[in-house]
Structure 1
Amino acid sequence: MGYQGRQRTVPLQGDLDDRETLVSAHENKGKSCQPTAVFNVVNSIIGSGIIVDPENLFIGRHFIIVLSTISFTLPLSLYRDIAKLGKISFISTVLTTLILGIVITRVISLGPNIPKTEDAWVFAKPNAIQAIGVMSFALICHHNCFLVYGSLEEPTVAKWSRIIHMSILVSVFICVLFATCGYLTFTGFTQGDLFENYCRSDDLVTFGRFCYGITVILTYPIECFVTREVIANVFFGGNLSSVFHIVITVVIITVATLVSLLIDCLGIVLELNGALCAAPLIFIIPSACYLKVSEEPRTHLDKIMSCVLLPIGAVVMVCGFVMAITNPQDCTHGQEMFYCFPDNFSLTNNSDSYFQLTTQYSIVNTSIF
């Protein structure tokens, strides 16, 4: 926060020593232009599961996860140069835009046929804190900022400021459109994974699920890159041999894959990550660090903002974690929603059938636990 008006506190980026102070050594690695850096950051922010037939081993989610991990995620994650992931991030961003178009299309064609819940337009219910954690997790990109910064051809604070502001604005726009269109379509029936709400017979959405699966595969290498870089800096002095590079990458991907195989409900994952990871990284740690190192007076706007954000982050972290554990959101992974059945779909325009529909929804929702 607050680059403007404080240039005197930031070293000149033309000096090699100053650049090494800000980022890990990237002198021998490829460099990227501003658009590539934007795509890398947007891909990190925007980048969950694929809904398939659970009865068929070779198209079941566990088999698909393992196969896609070995075939695509692992090879892409072995890249040593984050600049080379720019084209991958561009493809992921294009696919995300395509998925957004599908969601917008369905809010027009499907939305009128879905019954609205009674309290659909009540703002800020008690679980709003959980939503703050999820939204924070959706926009977090702090962990790879230095690496993307170091991949620039000419890393300067001014250029990085333009990149990060553009990336955040694009990501916020996409997230708001996704959330708005998804909720307008399904209101109170909206699942943690929006694709869980659509019917299996919807071919357009099935194509969207495929695109989303590709997006997740293309997003993961950047996150793996950051994790590996942290491990290398903490335990190996920043340098990894080819053997250790492969071993650590395989270990990281194996652990993440095992977690994804054991957990198929995206809602609780997003809530816990938002409370325990995003809140500290977005609200608490940056504010505390700024208050510690800043020499600005206490009345300075940046210090006031830090003093406000720090306790907000603490509240979101503690309350979000407690609520996620004590009041987990329902998940219907792989289950057809009630309005997907022909008998129910024919009744969705009749207000008298609302109670019957919500009752059937509850039965479907609880039958999987």
Structure 2
Amino acid sequence: MFAFAYGAMISYLMIIRDTIPLLLGVAPEDTFVRNVLLAGLTLVVIVPLSMKRDMADLAFTSFLSVVGDFLVVIVVAVYSPTRRSVEEHGGFMNIVAESTFRPRTVFVGVGVLSFAFVCQHSAFIVAKSLDRPTHRRWGKVTGYALALAGLVSLVCGVTGYVGFMEDTEGDVLNTFLQFDDDDRTSYLAVQWARGILGFTMFVTYPLEIFVARHVCMTLLFEGKRAHDGDDHTVLGRPDRRRNLTLALYVMSLVPAILLQDVGSILAVTGSLSGSSVAYFLPGILHLAVYGEDFCSKIDSAIGNNNRTEGGPKPLWYYLFGFPLWCRIAATGAANVASYRRKNATAAKTPAATPLINNSRLLSPKERLVIQKAARLHHLRDE
């Protein structure tokens, strides 16, 4: 989670460096001025937004970011020279037919796509920020979000690549520098899209630093509340929140200044942390949660409970890595059993129930209303 969020933070700062200075008339080769603008603008805009404690506070800016992304994709789709490129290559079907499969770039592509679609690292924090975080509402949110993201990515990727082919850069708007300034409509549209993209990076960066900060808080200040996924509880102390936010900002700013290719950051981050979060961890967690059932099925398949007694096992048991899977399942089953015992013990201990005027017990609904009111009052004090 931390590695993916950290890589995203670096890439967002690099995109800001590639977009905003150009809008202000800074030459692409003037690296010093671009870096100064990056540090100054992000310190003024991003750091205050990142100091927020609850991700729900960024709901409006996140909405603006989504709208901005749609506008950028529209500009890429409309003004990309796809028609000219298709005519030069003899038609779209010829482009598809002449496309060459390159094994050495497969994992780079998988990494970039993983970076674009992985959202599991912030799923728990986002789910906790919903007004009514039910399974049904969360399923709708994720389903609609992934469907729209897939459609937008497909449109942007196809039109951007077909328009520029092998000259397409990781930041597709940089490729539009090939436009002649005499084509004022295209030039102004691309510059407008560049400004919108820079704005979306300003308001998207805090979402990633929320995740990285939550992970750091969990690791550095370990405790029960730190593992509940409730960011406003984990970050209750303003000094810790402030110090961690500033430290993470500096840690992402330095690489963003030193590195140049945002595509390589996307590929590395997506290939390593993104692929792990998207393709490996979900299966491992499912195996751990249902470890008892899995171990029972394996015991039945190999017979005589040889899995635990160390007797002879069939060849397929080793070929398909079942020693590792069984170890994960057994560890998960033990942890689940321990968690259930702890909850059963806690349930037997009666909790004190507050009174109203020393005469009537509060109902569960009334206690919930009082807790929410106390939380809102505490947030206002922050």
1:231 equivalent to 2:209? Answer: no
Residue 86 of structure 1, aligned match among 56, 59, 63: 59
CA distance change for structure 1 residues 116 and 192 in 2, over 3 Å: closer, same or farther? Answer: farther
1:170 equivalent to 2:148? Answer yes
Q: Which residue of 1 aligns with 2:174?
A: 196
Q: Is the 8 A contact 1:198 1:205 kept in 2?
A: yes
Q: What is the TM-score with the length of structure 2 in the denominator?
A: 0.61
SS in 2 for 1:264: coil
Aligned counterpart, 1:72? 45
Whose helix proportion is higher, 1 or 2? 2
Residue type at the aligned position of 2:46: T
Instruction: Give the aligned partner of residue 101 of structure 2.
Output: 124
**Cα distance in 1, alignment partners of residues 28 and 167 from structure 2:** 22
Partner of 2:288: 292
Contact 1:116–1:188 under 8 Å retained in 2: no
Over 3 Å counting, the alpha-carbon distance change for 1:113 and 1:181 in structure 2 is: closer
Mapping 1:249-288, distance limit 5 Å: 249-288=245-284
What amino acid is the match of 2:76?
A: V
Name which of 89, 109, 119 aligns with 1:141.
Answer: 119
The 3-state SS of whatever aligns with 1:88 is helix
Kindly report the root-mean-square deviation, in angstroms, between the aligned alpha carbons of the 2 structures: 3.0
Counterpart residue number, 1:98: 71
Alpha-carbon distance in structure 1 between the residues aligned to 2:188 and 2:86: 17
Higher relative contact order at CA 8 Å, sep ≥6: structure 1 or structure 2? 2
Where does residue 363 of structure 2 map in the other structure? none
Equivalents in 1 of 2:53, 2:208: separation in Å? Answer: 13
For 1:157 and 1:131, locate their aligned partners in 2 and report how far apart those are by CA, in whole Å. 32
- Whether the 8 Å CA contact 2:85–2:162 is kept in 1: the answer is no
Helix, strand or coil at the partner of 1:198: helix
Q: What is the CA–CA distance in structure 2 between the aligned matches of 1:264 and 1:138, rounded to whole Å?
A: 20
CA contact (8 A) 1:183 1:190 kept: yes
Q: Once the two structures are superposed, what CA deviation does each residue of 1:78-108 show, in whole Å capped at 9, x if it has no partner?
A: 1111111110110001111111111011135
For residues 99 and 261 of structure 1, the distance between their equivalents in structure 2, rounded to whole angstroms, comes to: 24
Unaligned runs of 5+ in 1: 1-42, 301-309, 312-369
Deviations 1:152-194 (A, max 9, x none): 1221112111111111111111111110110111112211111
Tell me the SS of whatever aligns to 2:53. Answer: coil
Deviations along 1:316-337, whole A, 9 cap, x unmatched? Answer: xxxxxxxxxxxxxxxxxxxxxx
Shift of 1:113: 8.9
| Cα distance in structure 1, aligned partners of 2:153 and 2:39 | 28
Q: Measure how far apart 1:110 and its partner are.
A: 6.9
Amino-acid identity (%): 25
CA distance in 2 between partners of 1:55 and 1:192 (Å): 18
1:205 aligns with 2:190: yes
| TM-aligned CA distance change 1:287 to 1:242, over 3 Å | same
Moved more, 113-122 or 210-219: 113-122
1:63 equivalent in structure 2: 36
CA distance in 2 between counterparts of 1:234 and 1:73 reads 24
Which residue does 1:155 correspond to in 2?
133
- Relative to structure 1, the CA distance from residue 297 to residue 109 in structure 2 (aligned partners, 3 Å threshold; closer, same or farther) is closer
Equivalent pair of 1:114/1:185 in contact (CA under 8 Å): no
Q: 1:77 corresponds to which letter in structure 2? A: S
Q: 1:114 to 1:273 in 2, by over 3 A?
A: farther
CA distance in 1, matches of 2:57, 2:293: 39
Match of 2:160 in 1: 182
Compute the displacement of 1:54 (Å).
Answer: 3.6
How far 1:213 sits from its partner (Å)?
0.7
Please, which moves more after superposition, 196-205 or 144-153?
196-205
**Contact kept? 1:116, 1:187, Cα under 8 Å:** no
Q: Quote the offset at 1:289 in angstroms.
A: 1.8
User: What letter matches 1:145 in structure 2?
Assistant: A
Number of paired residues?
257
Deviation at 1:56, TM superposition (A): 4.8
Unaligned runs of 5+ in 2: 1-7, 182-186, 227-233, 298-319, 322-382
Any idea what SS the aligned residue of 1:131 has? helix
Equivalent residue runs for 1:333-352 within 5 Å: none
Distance 1:283 1:57 in 2: 38
**How do residues 308-319 of structure 1 correspond to structure 2 at under 5 angstroms?**
none
What's the offset of the Cα at 1:111? 4.2
Structure-2 separation of matches of 1:174 and 1:63? 33
Q: Give the Cα separation in 2 of the matches to 1:173 and 1:57.
A: 35
